[in-house]
Amino acid sequence: MNPFVRSRDIGVQQSKAIFRQRATWAVGWFNDWLISGDSASAAGNDFAARLTVLPIWSGDGTHYLHLGTSVRYVGGDDHKLRFRGTPASHVADYYVDTGTMAADHAWNTGLEILWNAGGYSLLGEYVTSSVNSASSDNPRFEGYYVTGSWVLTGEHRPYDRKTGYARRVLPQGHWGALELFGRFGQIDLNDRSVSGGVVDGWWAGVNWWATRRWRLSVTYGDINLIRDGMDGNTRTLLSRVQWIH
């Protein structure tokens, strides 16, 4: 979902768990002018809000259902916006790209669902972005993904009720925890006069949570791209070693 979400930004945020930690809310303001090189007046302001609920929760935390919704106002830097994304890899080129558009702002809205039953989990997210750009006929972009996983060694994915997020698998055995996962997703940046491309793909892989700090993973992906009147296919094999502070 990287065309719609910034993984890191500078700003302030306030959040709180409510209803005996069966729901959370969060609001924030963000502006990256300190590191982007833009002036404070030219850098776009982002305002975000998120609400989550936990309608199903077992006492030991192994079975739960999380629902969430979010909205984000994305201000254009110097009244310009650009949406682009890689195929689930930070070392790949940008596959979909709208180019720079004259745009004052965009409204991003999101829906999320996470179901967990013991070692099984199913996660889905949908995001749509409505762009205020008269020169581009006010396009609307969207994307989604669905991920399923199974922890073979019996652990489950713990849920943080204070923040409304699932956390990493915490291995219990001497040899760590082994998790199989699969995902399918699509990003569509074609609408009105904008042809940023459509990319979809499926991925399958394995996570080895060696310790509570170390994770090793291998993922195979099959990605299709339609852009500029051409169709393309990419097959990837990615490995990752991650240390978590």
What is d(CA 108, CA 132) in angstroms, rounded to the nearest whole number?
11
The alpha helices in the chain, defined as continuous H runs, are 33-36
Render pLDDT for 146-172 as a digit per residue (tens, 0 to 9).
999 999 999 999 999 999 999 999 999
pTM above 0.85, yes or no: yes
* pLDDT for 90: 78
The pLDDT of residue 37 is above 80:
no
Average pLDDT, whole number, for the chain? 93
Reported in sequence order, the residue ranges of 31-139 that DSSP labels E, i.e. its strands, are 46-57, 63-75, 80-81, 84-85, 96-97, 101-102, 105-117, 120-132
- Residue ranges of domains in the chain, CATH in brackets: 52-243 (2.40.160.10)
pLDDT of 41 over the 80 cut: no
Q: Which phi and psi (to 5°) does residue 183 adopt?
A: -150, 145
Residues 25 and 15: their CA atoms lie apart, in Å, by 6
Distance CA 144, CA 112 (A): 10
Q: Is the pLDDT of residue 212 over 80?
A: yes
**Residues recorded for the chain:** 245
Burial of 167 (0-12, 13-18, 19+ CB in 10 A): exposed
Q: Which of 129, 128, 138 is nearest to 194 (CA)?
A: 138
**Model confidence over 77-136: pLDDT tens digits?**
889 999 999 988 878 899 999 999 999 999 999 999 999 999 999 999 999 999 999 999
Q: What is the mean pLDDT of residues 197-214?
A: 96
Measured between alpha carbons, how far is residue 96 from residues 88, 125, 203 in Å? 12, 19, 18
